[in-house]
Amino acid sequence: MIIQPKHLTKTVILFGLIFLNLIAARSALSQTSPNDILVHYQAQAETQADSMRGQVLFNTRHGNDWSCSTCHGSPPTISGKHASSGKGILPLAPAANDKSLTSLKKTEKWFRRNCRDVLSRECTAQEKTDVVSYLLTLKLN
């Protein structure tokens, strides 16, 4: 198929649009949303997400000095503070921080570390589901 000079502009525009769409699709696919993360954990959990249960878990101390809210605040729609170092922590609630819960790798890392600190063990998939669903209920007033 020979592209004639009179079709050149249209061809360029066509390929340009295809290219742009591919880029948009690619970035849309690689971007994780908080909802994707909820879906991911829900798939491994035994029962349906319960945001009330998540709220209780978040605010309770589990045998150690800290609860989740000790550093993240209650509700975590405001900036938190590390209990030892005082270092500022960006808000956990996606409504208050559009970077929160957008990377499964990071979410997993922080769950691992912080559950071990708060509960002396890893959180179960159910617990993570409940907490994530709780965080998603939070709105800014």
Specify the residue, 7 or 112, whose C-beta has the smaller distance to other proteins: 112
Indicate the residue among 38 and 101 with the shorter CB distance to other proteins: 101
Output the smallest distance, CB 63 to other proteins, in A: 15
- What is the nearest approach in angstroms of other proteins to the Cβ of residue 118? 10
14/38 Cα distance (integer angstroms): 38
| Separation CA 72–CA 55 (nearest Å) | 12
Q: How far is the CB of 84 from other proteins (least distance, A)?
A: 7
Phi, psi of 89 (to 5 degrees): -125, 125
Name the residues that contact other proteins, by CB under 8 A.
Answer: 82, 84-87, 109, 112-114, 116-117
Sequence-distant (≥ 6) Cβ neighbours of residue 2 within 8 angstroms? none
Token readout for 52 is: 């009330």
Closer CB to other proteins, residue 51 or residue 70?
70
